[in-house]
């Protein structure tokens, strides 16, 4: 069952990743990216990495996606009217396609699992703490990798400040004011 779910979620993550690249609206790309992040977090859970799955949801689906939405809204790229004018019901048709793909993937996974007799069998037990050991992870992150971790956080902060400065400068120039 876990193997079937792995393949179904992997295929769904690839479909969502294609949706990120092929979407015409940045907002639809972000929604597809959210689907990709959740599929990957479930794959991490299937592999026994509970902390990595929680970090995937909290850090990427929470913080990074909010940062992307902030930049899209700041640059005024999240205009749904252009997408709605190009094709009626574009958002709803994409959402329905994704919903159908999820339903088909889950249905196939359940069908294959029931035909192999996996659903009624014993579930293998994993250790209570999971496979990933938090003490080793913390020792590596705050020991050997503390400097690169802090460098990445400073780089992300500098990037956010640069985006805000560029967005404000472009708006002042468009409004007729002299850019500073």
Can you give the CATH number for the domain in which 109 is found?
Answer: 1.20.120.1200
pLDDT attached to residue 115 = 67
Place of tokens 């992150």: 141
If asked whether residues 56 and 32 sit together in one domain, one would say yes
In this predicted structure, what is the pLDDT of residue 91? 47
Mean pLDDT by 10 residues, the chain (180 residues): 83 90 87 90 85 86 83 70 50 60 66 59 53 75 83 84 77 60
- Quote the pLDDT of residue 80: 54
Assess if residue 150 is contained within a domain.
yes
Has this prediction a pTM greater than 0.85? no
Residue 162 domain boundaries: 133-180
What torsion do the CA atoms of 48, 54, 55, 56 make, to the nearest 10 degrees? 80
Whether residue 148 sits in one domain with residue 97: no
- Residues 146, 110, single domain; the answer is no
Q: Is residue 127 one of the residues assigned to a domain?
A: no
Q: Tell me, what's the pLDDT at 24?
A: 86
The number of folded domains in the chain is: 2
């Amino acid at each position: 069952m876990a193997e079937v779910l792995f393949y179904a979620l992997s295929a769904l993550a690839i479909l969502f990743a294609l949706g990120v690249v092929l979407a015409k609206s940045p907002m639809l790309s972000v929604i597809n990216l959210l689907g990709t992040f959740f599929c990957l977090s479930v794959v991490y859970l299937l592999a026994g990495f509970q902390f990595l799955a929680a970090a995937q949801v909290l850090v990427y689906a929470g913080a990074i996606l909010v940062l992307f939405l902030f930049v899209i809204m700041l640059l005024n790229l999240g205009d749904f009217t252009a997408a709605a004018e190009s094709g009626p019901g574009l958002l709803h048709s994409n959402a329905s396609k994704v919903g159908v793909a999820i339903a088909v993937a889950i249905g196939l996974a359940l069908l294959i699992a029931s035909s192999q007799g996996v659903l009624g069998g014993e579930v293998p037990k994993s250790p209570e703490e999971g496979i990933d050991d938090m003490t080793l992870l913390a020792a590596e992150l705050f020991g050997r990798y503390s400097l690169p971790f802090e460098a990445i956080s400073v780089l992300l902060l500098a990037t956010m400040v640069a985006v805000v400065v560029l967005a404000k400068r472009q708006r002042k120039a468009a409004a007729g004011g002299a850019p500073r």
